[in-house]
Amino acid sequence: MQHEKILILDFGSQYTQLIARRVRELNIYSEIHPYNKIPEIDGSWKAVVLSGSPHSVREEKAPIPDLSAIKGKLPLLGVCYGAQHLVHEFGGEVLPSITREYGRANLSFVDTQSKLMKDVPTDSQVWMSHGDTIATIPFNYKVVASTNDVKVAAYEIEGEQTYALQFHPEVYHSKDGATILKNFLVGICGFSQDWTPATFVHETIADLKAKIRNDKVVLGLSGGVDSTVAAVLLHKAIGENLYCIFVDNGLLRKDEFESVLEQYKGMGLNVKGVNAKDRFYDVLAGLSDPEKKRKAIGAMFIDVFDDEANQIKDVKWLAQGTIYPDVIESISATGGPSQTIKSHHNVGGLPDYMKLQIVEPLKTLFKDEVRRIGKSMGIDGELLGRHPFPGPGLAIRILGDITKEKVRILQEVDHIFISSLKSSGLYDKVWQAGAIFLPVQSVGVMGDERTYENAVALRAVESTDGMTADWVHLPYDFLAKVSIDIINKVKGINRVVYDISSKPPATIEWE
């Protein structure tokens, strides 16, 4: 089935994937392409969005797209950098802001006649993130929204279906961002909203069947949402030709290896458990740098899979549960200019010696989308509601080098924290939670004795996609009880702190 689709041109913004996600929430299919690798503008494209960027339009080497086949011919929406580019390149003026315009702001003027701003309140909160400001606009541009500090917060071009926003409608903090995007996509562009979870499942299974045929596939199963949904999709497509491998890397949560294997017994999946703890501990010995730890784990993960794959006759493919946030924080999903934040263990391809092709059925989806896909396939809600857990496991929650004793301590701390969230009815109110082993020791008193032991930090955040996140205001009584339980029950810990950083500027994980 050929879907109506929207083209999103990526200028390097960390929010580009969020634009795609917001579009998909409206059941509209979207694709992201680098600004300098624009696909042929044929009849399959119904509209175009220009993303934000870490660059300035005033830079000598500012990203400049060829819009000759787009502007004035297709509905076009510029966001942040995109809005400034459409001013700078077509006769207006963009200047440095007197102060950096970053964070929450409120609209002070909205043109109620504008199709783009329909049903948007005059005082609507928006999210700004830019160092330049639009000083003057070309003669045929019309301002349709302002804040007290930003006169040109939104505009449209008379005689064209071209619109622009200085703020980010895709970010959660823009309260009416979804309304604005719907106004553009449905009200202006006329999308029919026919791209749904059921459609994704049907088309993905068909694509997997066509791509894999009768080949055998090996999949790394972790017990998490992503690998589970990937496994079920593949199982529906190729059945017994899917071989699931669950590796115990020694960095899982307490008793997770055994419980995960048990969990999948009734799902009809062919799963083999592999105890590779010592192999991972050996390659991690003495490593403190988080990037080196991630890369060491990723390399060993592939080595273990190579060993297991060689035991399966004629296996041709390695499947992974890679999703969008993994990709955008490692490399641009489509080879574009997005900036790297950190590498991920399952992103970046395979070494030459490993003779498997890679298949990633979820790499265009965000976490909440993966859950919706899983629900549409009838996967158990408790499993789908499980918090995200990083691929490198506890290795990136132990700051500094990894030892078996540190892993043991953190497993016990994490178990108390997560179990307490569940028993207190707080688990489902938190998007992700975990404990971090800190590379510090502090003085304490237990009984009449002085102690000098380790400290741990607890982390709980609320989010919808992992791209932005706020810390959760857990009740003080709850935190007090958890702290007491950890200090009393986990030998080696005498201090517990709670992380109240949001993303940005922090990341969800500490490494």
Residues carrying an active site annotation: 80, 168, 170
Q: Compute the distance between CA of residue 338 and CA of residue 462 in angstroms, rounded to an integer.
A: 25
Alpha-carbon distances of 225 from 222, 232, 283, 322, rounded to whole Å: 8, 11, 27, 11
Please give the Cα distance from 334 to 321 (Å, whole number): 17
Beta-sheet strands, E only, within 288-364: 315-319, 357-359
The CA-atom distances, in angstroms, between 288 and each of 8, 77, 184 are: 39, 45, 48
3-state SS assignment for residue 470: strand
**Is 47 within 8 Å of 55 (Cβ atoms)?**
no
**How far, CA to CA in Å, does 172 sit from each of 23, 232, 297?**
13, 30, 33
DSSP conformation letters of 400-469: S---HHHHHHHHHHHHHHHHHHHHTT-GGG-SEEEEEEEEEEEEEEETTEEEEEEEEEEEEEE-SSSSSB
Per-position b or e across 39-54, b if 16+ CB within 10 A of its CB: eebeeebbbbbbbbbe
CB atoms within 10 A of CB 488: 11
The Cα 201–Cα 112 span in angstroms is: 40
Amino acid at 384: L
- What is the signed CA dihedral for 362, 365, 367, 372, rounded to 10 degrees? -90
Phi and psi angles of residue 97, each rounded to the nearest 5 degrees, phi first: -70, 145
Residues whose CB is less than 8 angstroms from the CB of residue 462 and which lie 6 or more positions away in sequence, other chains included: 429, 430, 431, 469, 470, 471, 472
β-pairing, 493-498 with 449-462? parallel
Distance CA 139, CA 142 (A): 8
Torsion angle defined by CA atoms of residues 289, 292, 293 and 299, in that order, rounded to the nearest 10 degrees? 180
User: Which residue carries 């940005």 as its tokens?
Assistant: 504
Instruction: Tell me the HSE value of 13 on the side-chain side, using a 13 A CA sphere.
Output: 30
